[in-house]
Amino acid sequence: QVQLVESGGGVVQPGRSLRLSCAASGFTFSSYGMHWVRQAPGKGLEWVAVIWYDGSNKYYADSVKGRFTISRDNSKNTLYLQMNSLRAEDTAVYYCARTIPCTNGVCYDAFDIWGQGTMVTVSS
Q: Select 29 or 94, whichever has its Cβ closest to another protein.
A: 94
Distance of CA 21 to the CA centre of its chain: 8
7 binds another protein (CB under 8 A): no
Q: Where are the beta strands (DSSP E) in 1-124?
A: 3-7, 10-12, 18-25, 34-39, 45-51, 58-60, 68-73, 78-83, 92-99, 111-114, 118-122
Binding status of residue 72 toward another protein by CB under 8 A: no
Residue of 92, 115, 120, 122 interacting with another protein (CB under 8 A): 115
Residues that bind another protein (CB under 8 A): 35, 37, 44-47, 50, 57, 59-62, 95, 100, 103, 106, 108-112, 114-117
